[in-house]
Amino acid sequence: MPPETYKFCPRCAAPLLPAVLGGRTRGHCPRCGFVHWSECTIGAGGVLIRDGRVLLVRRAIEPGKGRWTIPGGFAEENEKAEEAAVREVREETGLVTEAVSLLAVRDRPGDRALKHDVYLVFLLAYTSGALHPQAEEVSAAGFFLPEELAEMNAAPLSLAVTRLALTAADRPAPGFKPASGINLFSAAARLYC
């Protein structure tokens, strides 16, 4: 069994027993049939670009207190990842946005201490609202140029997705030109001919 696992059934509280299921030894409840398949978390963040500047927040709490990141957080069980990104941006900055495209995925398998963590980053479009950083989680918020980011204590993933958002748009690969007259599924998608 994984080192960090349940000893008792989270449904009926009976002691879990090891059972080989799906090629691995997992906790199995002999009373109600519960199987402890895995532990994972899904997070979502949003990249909002305005006039060539990216929206960043400075974290007021651990982990990463004092670090500048794109706004984001965990998705609830009944919430789509893109909805979580939009919600977190609204809660942390006061800005209302909508997701226009999936921009990046970070897939970090778990180990003894951490759950498997999947983080989805969405490119956002501004809808309404003014910048009002939320005091509990965020100590500052603003829009920054890429060259300013290099001097800030910015998280590596935030730097990477910012570069992606600023450079990916409207740059077809050599030898290709954008197709026209065809509907695309998102504002960030491109179709070449």
Residue ranges binding Zn ion (CB under 5 A): 9, 11-12, 14, 29, 31-32, 34
Question: Amino acid identity of 7?
Answer: K
Residues 6+ apart with CB under 8 A from 78: none
The residue among 40, 51, 52, 99 whose CA lies nearest residue 72 is 99
Q: How far is the CB of 4 from Zn ion (least distance, A)?
A: 19
The CB-of-1 to Zn ion minimum distance in angstroms stands at 16
- Smallest distance, Zn ion to C-beta of residue 31, A: 5
Residue with Cβ nearer Zn ion (11 or 24): 11
**Intra-chain end-to-end CA distance of the chain, in Å:** 51
In the complex, the smallest distance separating the C-beta of residue 11 from Zn ion, rounded to whole angstroms, is 5
Q: Which is nearer to Zn ion, 9 or 84 (CB)?
A: 9
Name which of 28 and 106 has its Cβ closer to Zn ion.
Answer: 28
For residue 185, give every residue at least 6 positions away whose Cβ sits within 8 Å of its Cβ, in sequence order, or none: none
* Residue whose CB is less far from Zn ion, 9 or 81: 9
* Residue nearer to Zn ion on the CB measure, 36 or 59: 36
Q: How far is the CB of 8 from Zn ion (least distance, A)?
A: 8
- Bridge partners of 147, per DSSP, are none
Q: Which two tokens stand for residue 124?
A: 């956002």
